[in-house]
Amino acid sequence: MHDYNWFKGDKIKVGIYGESHSGSIGVRLEGLMYSSLDEDKLRSFMRRRAPGNSAWSTPRKEADEVIIDKLENGVFEAHILNTNIRPADYSDLLRTPRPSHADFTAGLKYGPDFKSSGGGAFSGRLTAPMCIAGFLALSYLAQKGIRISSRIKEIGGIKDAPLDLDKLREVRNKEFPVIDDQKGEEMKKAIEEARLSEDSVGGIIETVIEGLPGGIGGPIFEGIEGKIAQICFAIPAVKGIEFGNGFEAARLKGSDNNDSLVYEDGKLKLETNRCGGILGGISVGGDVAPVIFDCAVKPTPTIGKEQRTVDLLTGENTTLKAKGRHDPCIVPRAVPVFEAAAALAIADLI
């Protein structure tokens, strides 16, 4: 019996189990009715997130082959075998916790029995089973004309081109998911410079939901923003989320931040989309304006550069040079994870 960590929505439930260096990781999805699954498309989706396939990724290689255990009566179960594990790299992390990682707080909550190898259940490795469930949700939404696309908006302070919906739809076919390939090359250089200096960089991922009907969501605790944020914050390294203008709205006057409703060629539109396609927690509708949100992803906390920490056993200050294999930048491989997270949130809402 697996020890699942659950998202319990209004209509669907998603459970994820495993650790970064456990024998397997897996997922259980309840509430979406499926009789068949396009395994080739699932395999392609998982490759976008899989480690070890690029110069800007961790050197840990995992095939991430999805093994389907159950697909019937609205219940889906699947798992992935972890084949390239090195638990010895993480043997002392509860004693000398890594800065800005969950080692210290996991020790507070779970004590010495916590499986800290590779970050345990706090590892980005657990986004792989989230992607499996998210792929099913994306397929379900596609049948209803709803499309979700994410892209790298910024890495290390280098910004991609402004949003272009036509170009955004092609980003998923690129090895490095940006609109402007030249900006992508600059981002790759920043990642490589961080890797060579045994450091890391963070960035921003933008997600757009097209075709969502108007009237989805609700006030107070039923808003779309809260549902999306809940699942996005389940992605390790996410430190912020903003919809539309987000924090920039706080610097504007109401006359500058408001979105006027207009008719264009007989169709109702928002003249601008500073609200991110959501008003009062409710979608304005994809024909009026798509839902748009950004997520801030922090730099990978596990780095080779020497850092200050403490020895909790002796009560002394010490230093740490982390072992293990880690991405110098999490952002490129995280792009499909945000598509999966958004899809799970929207599938639950509709």
Mean pLDDT, rounded, of the chain: 91
Under DSSP, is residue 83 helix (H, G, I), strand (E, B) or coil? coil
Q: Is 280's pLDDT higher than 80?
A: yes
Lowest mean pLDDT of 71-75, 181-185, 283-287, 331-335, name the range: 71-75
Q: Residue 176: left if φ>0, alpha if ψ -120 to 50, beta else—which one?
A: beta
In tens, the pLDDT along 192-212 reads 999 999 999 999 999 999 999
In tens, the pLDDT along 147-156 reads 999 999 999 9
CATH 3.40.50.720 correct for 5-349: no
Taking each helix axis from N to C end, the angle separating 127-142 and 39-49, rounded to the nearest 10 degrees, works out to 130
Q: Is 20's pLDDT higher than 90?
A: no
- Report the pLDDT value the prediction gives residue 35, as an integer from 0 to 100: 66
Q: Is 91's pLDDT higher than 70?
A: no
Q: Is 76's pLDDT higher than 70?
A: yes
* CA-to-CA separations, 310 to 18, 98, 250, in angstroms, rounded: 28, 9, 39
| Start-to-end CA span in the chain (Å) | 31
Q: Is 63's pLDDT higher than 60?
A: yes
Q: Which residues, listed in sequence order, are joined to residue 279 by a DSSP beta bridge?
A: 282
Amino acid at 269: K
Lowest mean pLDDT of 3-12, 113-122, 160-169, name the range: 113-122
Q: Is 117's pLDDT higher than 70?
A: no
- Report the pLDDT value the prediction gives residue 326, as an integer from 0 to 100: 78
CA–CA gap between residue 340 and residue 10 (Å, rounded): 18
Q: Could you tell me how far CA 43 lies from the centroid of its own chain?
A: 18
Indicate the pairing of strand 203-210 with strand 147-155: antiparallel
Q: How many residues does the chain have?
A: 350
Total H helices, total E strands in the chain: 8, 16
Q: Could you tell me how far CA 67 lies from the centroid of its own chain?
A: 22
- Report the pLDDT value the prediction gives residue 88, as an integer from 0 to 100: 56
Q: How confident is the model at residue 94 (pLDDT cuts 50, 70, 90)?
A: confident
Q: Is 301's pLDDT higher than 70?
A: yes
Q: Which residues, listed in sequence order, are joined to residue 71 by a DSSP beta bridge?
A: 76
Q: Could you tell me how far CA 62 lies from the centroid of its own chain?
A: 18
Q: How confident is the model at residue 7 (pLDDT cuts 50, 70, 90)?
A: very high
Indicate the pairing of strand 158-159 with strand 75-81: unpaired
Q: What's the predicted TM-score (pTM) here?
A: 0.93
Q: Is 130's pLDDT higher than 80?
A: yes
Amino acid at 88: A
Lowest mean pLDDT of 4-18, 90-104, 195-209, 243-257, name the range: 90-104
